[in-house]
Amino acid sequence: MRVLVVGGAGYIGSHAVRELAKEGNDVVVLDALYTGHRKAVDPKAKFYQGDIENTFLVSKILRDEKIDAVMHFAAYSLVPESVKKPLKYYDNNVTGMISLLKAMNDAQVKYLIFSSSAATYGIPKKLPITEDTPLDPINPYGETKVMMEMIMHWADKADGIKSIALRYFNVAGASSDGKIGEDHHPETHLIPNILRSAISGDGKFTIFGDDYNTKDGTNVRDYVQVEDLIDAHILALKHLMQTNKSDVFNLGTAHGYSNLEILKSAKKVTGIDIPYTMGPRRGGDPDSLVADSTKARSVLSWKPKHENVDTVIATAWKWHKNHPNGYADI
Amino acid sequence: MRVLVVGGAGYIGSHAVRELAKEGNDVVVLDALYTGHRKAVDPKAKFYQGDIENTFLVSKILRDEKIDAVMHFAAYSLVPESVKKPLKYYDNNVTGMISLLKAMNDAQVKYLIFSSSAATYGIPKKLPITEDTPLDPINPYGETKVMMEMIMHWADKADGIKSIALRYFNVAGASSDGKIGEDHHPETHLIPNILRSAISGDGKFTIFGDDYNTKDGTNVRDYVQVEDLIDAHILALKHLMQTNKSDVFNLGTAHGYSNLEILKSAKKVTGIDIPYTMGPRRGGDPDSLVADSTKARSVLSWKPKHENVDTVIATAWKWHKNHPNGYADI
């Protein structure tokens, strides 16, 4: 297969590029490098620097490279930033999706795998969260993902573009060989921040709130290892091309870990007594978010290898320990 | 006041331009002329031909013309076309709104009056429809209007752009002096199609379905006269600038007329026994759509002059009788 990975220089996209190439697919990457890293892109992939909103460019790449399917990872994803700069998010995410679908329609490329988010559910009334949980986002980031799914729905009905939306829970970890991993500026994710605190010992790592309605008062989240997540993407693409039917799947392990449990696991994995600060709530954080992943496991035969978060953190540690400054160390 | 009317060459926008100019405002028009008519634009207004998606151009006009407020009428609005070509609608409507708000933010223009739609409500469970009725659109056109309202909401919170969304019911009629009116290609609205049938006598005018759950089996709609509608826009703009608070209002008269009642009224107004065809349902038409317009009447002191549909049709007839080919006759 010839697959275009849009956003293939980002954290999750770069893992997709490697796994797709490893399985023998021809991979083409389009990334504007606004937040992605050129060094994260597998050398086996062909690289174009460009913006998803450039419909003409995307369409030309789809035709020139004879692309069979697209994986779309090119969305901004920082919730607090989306609240401060919503137009930046609607522009890049929603306008970007419209542009991509127009280009796909123009080039007659009919398959799309899309990274959606558990943020589409907002604050769910029941746990675990199934795919039928009502979509009710509480911030612009989550809203953009709902809008993108809605637009995909109509592009299927009218134009026959078949797509699978994968609603991610908390993606974590790094490639098992330690060669690529997470490197965001700013870094807002829990595990990289804990591990950086382990390395620096500066105690600047903060947990935001210990008065949530959870087992120990800190937020509970569902961590899915990034290579497991990509396995699901490849399974989803095969499923989509076999069934020719659009669908949506949650991607989480269905195990919930509190922030303090993650910290404890990180201490065990690293052997370091990691300093941290207990801060107040930062607003907009639901108590608990845990996936019901039955559908992905049964329909896609997805079997995440990292069901215990210790092994997720172990892959992240391998990356951060050897690249304390991320891609600047490569 | 200096007001930019985006889509000022269209049916509703052109009436806004005239009324704003008549009240002594300086009016600037931006219209791409995809569906609008250059001849519909009041000569007192300054005209720019251009696309709302050209953020740079919009921003430049806002600055150069020292604009105080924007009225936005530049959205595609044909429901059946939106189902067939959803990406065209998401592109022009949603991407257009994002572009406009980015330009307003850039030029520090803080007031926006936006033409939303009763299509945001979908098939309402209760009548009349208040502004609190849940938004649940059933086609891409209605979805684009919901998305546009959501984006406006966050642009207010983050960037302080204050806006009023006016949810139109069925806009009808023409200017009272008969100089501008409705001229769509294709024409999908009931009243112009009835009046064209009155002129041509060709019997091609069709009513789609007489088995709805209404008084006579045909669809019931709430017709608001276009100059009354524009009065509400000007009242809304003044209200917005006084209160500095974003809001949403239904614009309908709260009177429901069935398609057969509209036909009967048109026969009375024109004195012609208008031929018509009774066809099957075309799908996607709710039985009845009638506004609760209490909020606009009380908060904005809006008093529509045309509470009886005969007088609405009389204004339309004055236009169509003298311009059977629309602006081609000017």
Secondary structure of chain B in the HEC alphabet? CEEEEECCCCHHHHHHHHHHHHCCCEEEEEECCCCCCHHHCCCCCEEEECCCCCHHHHHHHHHHCCCCEEEECCCCCCHHHHHHCHHHHHHHHHHHHHHHHHHHHHHCCCEEEEEEEHHHHCCCCCCCECCCCCCCCCCHHHHHHHHHHHHHHHHHHHHCCEEEEEEECEEECCCCCCCCCCCCCCCCCHHHHHHHHHHHCCCCCEEECCCCCCCCCCCEECEEEHHHHHHHHHHHHHHHHHHCCCEEEEECCCCCEEHHHHHHHHHHHHCCCCCCEEECCCCCCCCECCECCHHHHHHCCCCCCCCCHHHHHHHHHHHHHHCCCHHHHC
Strands A162-168, A247-251: pairing is parallel
Mean pLDDT of the region B92-97: 97
Residue A282 has pLDDT above 90, yes or no: no
Distance from CA of B288 to the nearest CA of A (A): 25
Nearest residue of B to residue A156 by CA position?
Answer: B86
Closest by CA position to B293, among listed B318, B256, B239: B256
Q: Which pLDDT does position A25 carry in this prediction?
A: 98
Q: B309 and chain A: CB distance < 8 Å anywhere? A: no
Sign of torsion over alpha carbons B179, B185, B187, B188:
negative
> In this structure, how many other beta carbons lie within 10 angstroms of the beta carbon of residue B187?
15
**Whether ipTM exceeds 0.95:** no
Residue A26 backbone phi and psi in degrees, to 5: -85, 120
Is the fold of B2-172+222-251 the same as that of B190-221+254-322? no
pLDDT tens, A112-170? 999 999 999 999 999 999 999 999 999 999 999 999 999 999 999 999 999 999 999 99
Mean pLDDT of the region B127-155: 97
Closest by CA position to B210, among listed B220, B202, B218, B201: B218
- A-chain CB neighbours of B95 within 8 Å are 94-95, 98
Rounded to whole angstroms, the Cα distance separating B258 from B211 reads 12
Residue A284 has pLDDT above 90, yes or no: no
A190-221+254-322 has CATH 3.90.25.10 classification: yes
pLDDT tens, B149-185? 999 999 999 999 999 999 999 999 999 999 999 999 9
Look up tokens 């509400």; give the residue.
B232
pLDDT tens, B195-249? 999 999 888 899 999 999 999 999 999 999 999 999 999 999 999 999 999 999 9
Closest by CA position to A115, among listed A149, A85, A84: A149
Rounded to whole angstroms, the Cα distance separating B258 from B220 reads 4
Contact A87 B155 (CB under 8 A): yes
pTM over 0.80: yes
Average pLDDT, chain A: 97
Nearest residue of A to residue B94 by CA position?
Answer: A95
Closest by CA position to A86, among listed A35, A140, A34, A136: A140
* Residue spans of alpha helices (H) in A31-183: 55-64, 79-84, 86-89, 96-107, 140-159
* CA distance readout (Å), B38 to B8, B35, B45, B230: 9, 10, 11, 19
Rounded to whole angstroms, the Cα distance separating B294 from B296 reads 6
What does R_g of chain A's alpha carbons equal in angstroms? Answer: 19
Look up tokens 């994968």; give the residue.
A166
Look up tokens 């019901």; give the residue.
A292
Q: B51 and chain A: CB distance < 8 Å anywhere? A: no
Q: B155 and chain A: CB distance < 8 Å anywhere? A: yes
Of B94, B140, B155, the CB nearest to A86: B155
Amino acid at A201: G
Contact A87 B95 (CB under 8 A): no
Domain map (residue ranges) of chain B? 2-172+222-251, 190-221+254-322
In the residue annotation, B141 being an active-site residue is answered as yes
- A-chain CB neighbours of B94 within 8 Å are 90, 94-95, 98, 147
- B-chain CB neighbours of A146 within 8 Å are none
pLDDT tens, A192-241? 999 999 999 888 899 999 999 999 999 999 999 999 999 999 999 999 99
Q: What percent of chain B has pLDDT over 70?
A: 100
The catalytically annotated residue of B121, B141, B223, B257 is: B141
Distance from CA of B84 to the nearest CA of A (A): 5
Sign of torsion over alpha carbons B94, B98, B99, B104:
positive
Of B86, B140, B154, the CB nearest to A86: B154
pLDDT tens, A232-275? 999 999 999 999 999 999 999 999 999 999 999 999 999 999 99
CATH annotation of B2-172+222-251 = 3.40.50.720
**Tokens standing for A307?**
């069901």
